[in-house]
Amino acid sequence: MSGWESYYKNEGDEEEEEQDEGPEAGEYKYSGRDSLIFLVDASRAMFESQNEGDEDELTPFEMSIECILSVYTNKIISSDRDLLAVVFYGTKKDKNSVNFKNIYVLQELDNPGAKRVLELDRFKGQLGKKHFQDLIGCGSDYSLSEALWVCANLFSDVQFKMSHKRIMLFTNEDDPHGSDSAKASRARTKAADLRDTGIFLDLMHLKKPGGFDISLFYRDIISIAEDEDIGVHFEESSKLEDLLRKVRAKENKKRALGRLKFKLSKDVALTVGIYNLVQKAFRPPPVRLYRETNEPVKTKTRTFNVNNGSLLLPSDTKRSQSYGSRQIVLEKEETVQLKRFDEPGLILIGFKPLIMLKKHHYLRPSLFVYPEESMVNGSTALFSALLTKCLEKEVMAVCRYTPRHNSPPYFVTLVPQEEELDDQKVQVTPPGFQLIFLPYADDKRKVPFTEKVLANPEQVDKMKTIVQKLRFNYRSDSFENPVLQQHFRNLEALALDLMEPEQAVDLTLPKVEAMDKRLGSLVDEFKELVYPPDYNPQGKTTKRKQDDEGSRNKRPKVEVSEEELKAHISKGTLGKLTVPMLKEACRVYGLKGGMKKQELLDTLTRHFQEG
């Protein structure tokens, strides 16, 4: 399979190479930009703390600002091309393109940047509350339909292609127009209009005295995706952590890598979407700038004729593949045809028990398979039935997976996965299949193992006790890459003109003190059982060096007689001798032959010819 991979990567023009290499390296790219508007309630209730005696408790407005700042900083790192905006409603002053009262557009849809982060940062804490009152102020009346109208206008003013449009509404008022049925009706109508134009509205409701009742008004306002359960809604947030989890769950649109047909048999097929749940985070590459203007520069590649230096067009070149000693020349159309192995899709081969999937089969991060109704109606029902039966019988589906036209087929297994919700009714695990890549026979290696030194039962029991003491609940999302985190904090400090960057905590380092406290005397007891009494871990390196020197002195010398050397020189076969043999011969005759084999050959040949 490795040969196919290299062939698929090396063929084609530069643009094709870039597209093909992305998924192989774990990078997946999407077209269009995500756009997100934060619509924040700025009425007086949002600035009131739930517990008046607790000064450290954040007000609903402060929690909203903290949440927005978190999204801004994450977007700067992960996808700085996305568009973000902040709109306040229920304000004293107004600032919008339609001149509606009590609506203030703080930031229009644009890329997240340092200036925008600093502008939002000024609304944090008690000083931020005072700054907000001085700059914008709290109002007493507003119309939610007008606020949604302003957001729709912000989307329509953008010139870029947008892959997804979303409004995130932060409020702690569950019935904003309880005394005005006309305003409530207009808000419901406007929300329906937004849904029809592809704009999603998500509610981030915050805690209020007496509880937040979503059924009073917002059940008819918020957008429910086709694949979401209408009866499941997030609970109100009283803590910043809960609100952040909600925002992260709704922040990004579920964008499919591709929509493919999943063939169960010759006549039965359904449509599925393939999603990427895990992607390796890379440090972004530096951008080349023109030194005089600091403008980004572009790199262009041109092909020239070696003989006369003339510029070659794509039509002037052909491609070749070496087979043995022969060069096979191919036209561009032939290479395209060769790369098309099969039509994109999933083809079911059969089912196997889940226990047959082993950890050592892991090749790369899995993808996620979810039903799509776009190409085949009824795909969701068929997919759900297949998932339910696979979970009941504890089996996995083995398939052949071809992601794109110019991709080789992969041998994969679909592992069923149940839906899980946490105590806030936020989806932790979605229902669907994990698409796990399986190795081909060519990918498996036979690794030579050294002989095992068996431990006695007493040593095994002692190590079991140590392992039991050091166990902890591992979650991969609890550990951030310290190198990446520090890199982005350094950039953040430069962008925001901070005195010094915040130091990232390296969570990958073991907590030595806590481990020693847990283990107590167990480590010393284990050392006594395993190592000899005079064992010194500090002196191990020195002792090893001495052993290496001793073994070097004891190494048998490779000697060649003078007659053999003369015979080799006369026949021209001196090159058959190994480098150690030639070096030893030079040492015996007191010659300085250098380090390379050719230099040793020349030195010995010259010595015997002159002699």
| Active site positions, annotated | 29
CA end-to-end span of the chain, whole Å?
58
Using H for helix, E for strand and C for coil, what is the string for 174-193? CCCCCCCHHHHHHHHHHHHH
Which helix or strand (DSSP H or E) is residue 85 part of?
Answer: strand 83-89
| Alpha-helical segments (H) within 122-214 | 125-135, 144-156, 181-196
Distance from C-alpha of 567 to C-alpha of 587, rounded to nearest angstrom: 19
Question: Which DSSP letter does residue 437 get?
Answer: E
Write out the two tokens for 331: 């036209």
Closest CA to 193 of 157, 162, 165: 165
Which helix or strand (DSSP H or E) is residue 466 part of?
Answer: helix 457-469
CA trace torsion 431, 434, 435, 436 (10° rounding):
-170
CA distances from 80 to 58, 110, 164, 250, 500 (A): 28, 10, 15, 18, 23
Are the C-beta atoms of 38 and 168 separated by less than 8 Å?
Answer: yes
Are the C-beta atoms of 370 and 418 separated by less than 8 Å?
Answer: no
Half-sphere exposure at residue 339, Cβ-oriented, CA atoms within 13 angstroms: 24
Closest CA to 243 of 203, 279, 281: 203
* Lookup result for tokens 């070149």: 317
Distance from C-alpha of 157 to C-alpha of 150, rounded to nearest angstrom: 11
Q: Is 610 left (phi over 0), alpha (psi -120 to 50) or beta?
A: alpha
Print burial letters for 85-119: b (CB count within 10 Å at least 16), e (below 16). Answer: bbbbbbbeebebeeebebbbbbbbbeebeeebbee
Question: Judging by DSSP bridges, how do beta strands 420-421 and 199-205 pair with one another?
Answer: unpaired
Closest CA to 146 of 94, 112, 204, 187: 187
Distance from C-alpha of 400 to C-alpha of 397, rounded to nearest angstrom: 10
Which residues fall within 8 angstroms of residue 42, CB to CB, at 6 or more apart?
A: 61, 88, 89, 90, 91, 104, 132, 136, 138, 139
**SS3 assignment, position 236:** coil
Write out the two tokens for 237: 């947030």
